[in-house]
A and B are shown apart, each in its own frame.
Chain A
Amino acid sequence: MPGPYRETDLTEKVEAFLSDLKRGGSGTGPLRGSAETARETTALLRRITAQVRWSSAGDLMEVIRKEGRRMSAAQPSETTVGNMIRRVLKIIREEYARSRGSSEEADQQESLHKLLTSGGLSEENFRQYFTALKANVIEAINELLTELEGTTDNIAMQALEHIHSNEVIMTIGRSRTVEAFLKDAARKRKFHVIVAECAPFCQGHEMATSLSKDGIETTVITDAAIFAVMSRVNKVIIGTQTVLANGGLRAVNGTHTLALAAKHHSTPLIVCAPINFLFISGEILSKVNVHCPVFDYVPPELITLFISNIGGHAPSYIYRLMSELYHPEDHEL
């Protein structure tokens, strides 16, 4: 068995991924979209599951947690990495529980009764060995990967429900999700898009050229003109870096101003974000500490709707989705 060879190959891949993350954060490396990062992380985790020696679920979870901590440390602001790790950990728990034969609901529901009588689950140390566990876990991770690959399309498919003809839509910066969303709607409807350029990186310019090449009427404005133009805008559609557990956002610089202007004019603010963007921020639900003002915190009162690959939700529903996606014990990696 070419065990050692495969392991070094694996560590090489992990190192390459880590250095990519570090470079991507500093702005000098290739700027990757969050969806891409999520996909690569998941693919890497699948490799780890397949190649690293582990005997029980507990070992696997330890390995993944260790690697996960390294990855998160490489780029703290890229939260999708941590999210994917938590999703995979949840998958492992589920598969383990299924193999053991206990029902999933009993594991997950935090009913009052369960809280009083629990104690049993926390003693679970995942020591039992199941032959089919590895295959099951890998299969589940594959499902996760296909889900990730389809998120942008799923979101884009909902576009026609939200955009009618002759609308004026405003967006800021560049988000691949929003781009796909608008292009999908443009196939059937005619509308006008105003893009705020989002200095200093001016990613809005790329968005505008890409949209206009697809036949959408686009206008580029400076960040200073957002409020001036807002009175003629029907909807504001933005993408985001992260969605927080309280329904707030961590998004690109300038989004808070955009949200305030939309609130003043009572314009609906719609956020397009795949479900893997949800992030647990723990106790700190007020202003998020960022390392440099590359991101803005937008409180949930300013947001009208979230559109994700599983449909539309109000900001007040986000906490529920969080509990379905991640297990509470994985909040701290």
Chain B
Amino acid sequence: MADSGVSGGADKKDNIEREKIEGKELTKEEKQRLRKEKKQQKKGKEKKDASLPQVSVAETAAPASQLKAERRARQEAERTSKQSKKGDTGQPATTSKPKIPPNELQPVVKRLPEHIQVDDPDVLKKLAKKLERQQIPRRLDYGYKVSLFSHLLQYSRKAPLTQQLSIPSAVIHPAIVRLGLQYSQGIVAGSNARSIALLHAFKQVISDYTTPSNEELSRDLVNKLKPYISFLNQCRPLSASMGNAIKYIKKEISNIPSQFKEDDAKKKLLNCIECFIEEKIVLAAKAIAKSSIEKINDGDVILVYGCSSLVNHILCEAFEKGRKFRVIVVDSRPRLEGREALRRLVQKGISCTYVLISAVSYILPEVSKVFLGAHALLANGYVMSRVGTSQIALVAKAFNVPVLVCCETYKFCERVQTDSFVSNELDDPDDLIVTRKGETQLKDWQQVPRLGLLNLVYDVTPPDFVDLVITDLGMIPCTSVPVVLRVKNVDLL
């Protein structure tokens, strides 16, 4: 009895407390509810804004709906027949993550890059739909992929994307089709060459462009460019320099004021592209050459790797200025780009030696400096370049030979990466097959169940292997790359 009384009393106390707490909770809940309502209102507004450009795309696509349906049916038929032949259960092309509403994200977090999520089937489906909408054929993966790289694409050079297009292509400009073929077959290679070819093709596209009647040039042209970029991405994943060039063009296009007449606008855009090429590539090369020549002394033995247009330019300039040096060209399979560099240097009259990358530790004691080119410079100071560059930097460090990297600022990239696995490009694995002494060992590698061939294109060099980076802004250490990026962004704004 006493217990019940006590417990009764305790209950009452609990009730009071509970009411208080609940009351507080209610008010808390109310507050939370209010907050949620506000967020939803904001979301609603932004969704309305975001849907505007999509509406215009739908409008332009409406008249071609019949063609679209036919194409879709044809593509489905082709796809099923190909799949039944290969028995592929689908690791086709790439996708992008769905856009997260911006107010729940920090402004600096970007969308995950498209081409490194090949192993995620949802991501793949989204991309398939996107490509269908843009009427671009999808390129299928080739061969057995090494498990460490199953998140990347691997294509065969023998099956270019352009074979799946009809002639003439109603959706893609012929200059872009040609460019895509040149990329996928390796006819245009090297990041400067690819960027310049891209910009020339875009100049062609812009001069052939006519604005549809109820559209604004600034918005419509950007949308026209999107399928082209997807197509080029399918032919060969875009490089960092190409990405930066495209960003620049898109910004220029969207900044065109609406009162400009079409001819004036096109002229302005063509001018902008010319300026970009002139400033960022040609003049930058001259500035870098001028700085580098100070670093080359008479009697130097300079080691270069592969074929970098910038490094070749520097060496030719230095030779013309009268510096006495000799060059060792290091080359690697399967691309053997060093032969091209060798040809260019020997034509100028520079005395050269040629070795394969496995002989680097044999020849390094004679070397006084190493000059390397770069594909991109990442924001954490790592240098992304042709595969083998990091190896040369490592061995040079072990022998205490200075390593200088030459790179224009337009190749600086905001990505960060610490190893060569997360984001890379896989080239055609058949390139590794070679005939020695009449025997081709790897001829039937596809039939051997557990054998994989890996043909990497890029690798990343840690900043402690690199002594100096020569850019058009001057000579900086590797760790100053984010500073340059910030300065560049401030300029653009």
Determine if A225 and B358 form an interchain contact, defined as CB atoms under 8 angstroms apart.
no
Q: Provided the pairs A205-B434, A293-B359 are in contact, do residues A219 and B146 lie with their beta carbons within 8 angstroms?
A: yes
- A264 located at the interface, meaning its Cβ lies under 8 Å from any Cβ of chain B in the complex: yes
Residue of A nearest to B431 (CB): A222
Determine if B356 and A256 form an interchain contact, defined as CB atoms under 8 angstroms apart.
no
Q: Which of A105-113, A136-144, A192-200 contacts B (4 or more CB under 8 A)?
A: A192-200
Determine if A220 and B454 form an interchain contact, defined as CB atoms under 8 angstroms apart.
yes
Determine if B453 and A202 form an interchain contact, defined as CB atoms under 8 angstroms apart.
no
For A225, give its contact among B388, B398, B460 (CB under 8 Å): B388
For B441, give its contact among A206, A232, A261 (CB under 8 Å): A206
B327-366, CB under 8 A of A: which get 1 and which 0?
Answer: 0000011100000000000000000000111111111010
Q: Provided the pairs A216-B450, A218-B452, A219-B146 are in contact, do residues A224 and B387 lie with their beta carbons within 8 angstroms?
A: yes
Rounded to whole Å, the gap between the CB of B73 and the closest CB of chain A is 40
- A317 located at the interface, meaning its Cβ lies under 8 Å from any Cβ of chain B in the complex: no
Measured between beta carbons, the chain A residues less than 8 angstroms from B448 are 209, 212-213
Rounded to whole Å, the gap between the CB of B157 and the closest CB of chain A is 16
Measured between beta carbons, the chain A residues less than 8 angstroms from B359 are 253-254, 293
Determine if B391 and A222 form an interchain contact, defined as CB atoms under 8 angstroms apart.
no
For B390, give its contact among A199, A200, A201, A228 (CB under 8 Å): A228
Tell which of B332, B421, B442 has the most Cβ of chain A within 10 Å.
B442
Given the complex of chains A and B, what is the CA–CA distance between A202 and B334 in angstroms? 11
Measured between beta carbons, the chain A residues less than 8 angstroms from B148 are 229, 232
- B231-268 contacts to A (CB < 8 Å): none
Q: Provided the pairs A209-B441, A219-B146, A220-B432 are in contact, do residues A228 and B362 lie with their beta carbons within 8 angstroms?
A: no
Q: Provided the pairs A215-B450, A220-B451, A260-B395 are in contact, do residues A296 and B420 lie with their beta carbons within 8 angstroms?
A: no
For B398, give its contact among A194, A212, A222, A260 (CB under 8 Å): A260
Q: Interface residue count for B (Cβ, 8 Å)?
A: 44
Rounded to whole Å, the gap between the CB of B297 and the closest CB of chain A is 26
Rounded to whole Å, the gap between the CB of B177 and the closest CB of chain A is 31
Rounded to whole Å, the gap between the CB of A267 and the closest CB of chain B is 13
Given the complex of chains A and B, what is the CA–CA distance between A219 and B436 in angstroms? 19
Q: Provided the pairs A197-B432, A208-B442, A293-B362 are in contact, do residues A219 and B333 lie with their beta carbons within 8 angstroms?
A: no
Given the complex of chains A and B, what is the CA–CA distance between A38 and B362 in angstroms? 28
- A223 located at the interface, meaning its Cβ lies under 8 Å from any Cβ of chain B in the complex: yes
Given the complex of chains A and B, what is the CA–CA distance between A209 and B439 in angstroms? 13
- B456 located at the interface, meaning its Cβ lies under 8 Å from any Cβ of chain A in the complex: yes
Determine if A222 and B334 form an interchain contact, defined as CB atoms under 8 angstroms apart.
yes
Residue of A nearest to B355 (CB): A293
Measured between beta carbons, the chain A residues less than 8 angstroms from B453 are 219-220
Rounded to whole Å, the gap between the CB of A33 and the closest CB of chain B is 16
Given the complex of chains A and B, what is the CA–CA distance between A263 and B387 in angstroms? 19
Secondary structure at the A interface, as helix, strand, loop or mixed, is mixed
Measured between beta carbons, the chain B residues less than 8 angstroms from A220 are 432, 442, 451-454
Determine if A202 and B436 form an interchain contact, defined as CB atoms under 8 angstroms apart.
yes
Rounded to whole Å, the gap between the CB of A264 and the closest CB of chain B is 6
Tell which of A220, A224, A264 has the most Cβ of chain B within 10 Å.
A224
- A10 located at the interface, meaning its Cβ lies under 8 Å from any Cβ of chain B in the complex: no
- B419 located at the interface, meaning its Cβ lies under 8 Å from any Cβ of chain A in the complex: yes
Measured between beta carbons, the chain B residues less than 8 angstroms from A261 are 391, 394
Rounded to whole Å, the gap between the CB of A212 and the closest CB of chain B is 4
Rounded to whole Å, the gap between the CB of B364 and the closest CB of chain A is 10
Rounded to whole Å, the gap between the CB of A26 and the closest CB of chain B is 13
Tell which of A206, A287, A293 has the most Cβ of chain B within 10 Å.
A293
A245-264, CB under 8 A of B: which get 1 and which 0?
Answer: 00000000110110011001
Determine if B333 and A228 form an interchain contact, defined as CB atoms under 8 angstroms apart.
no
For B362, give its contact among A194, A226, A253, A260 (CB under 8 Å): A253
Q: List 9 A-B contacts (CB under 8 A).
A: A206-B441, A218-B450, A219-B146, A219-B451, A222-B456, A224-B386, A254-B359, A287-B365, A293-B359
Given A222-B388, A227-B394, list of 9 further CB < 8 A pairs? A218-B451, A219-B146, A219-B452, A224-B333, A227-B459, A228-B420, A229-B456, A232-B421, A260-B361
Interface residues of B (CB under 8 A from A): 146-148, 332-334, 355-363, 365, 386-388, 390-391, 394-395, 398, 419-421, 432, 434, 436, 441-442, 445, 448-456, 459-460
Interface residues of A (CB under 8 A from B): 192, 194, 197-202, 205-206, 208-209, 212-213, 215-229, 231-232, 253-254, 256-257, 260-261, 264, 287, 293, 296
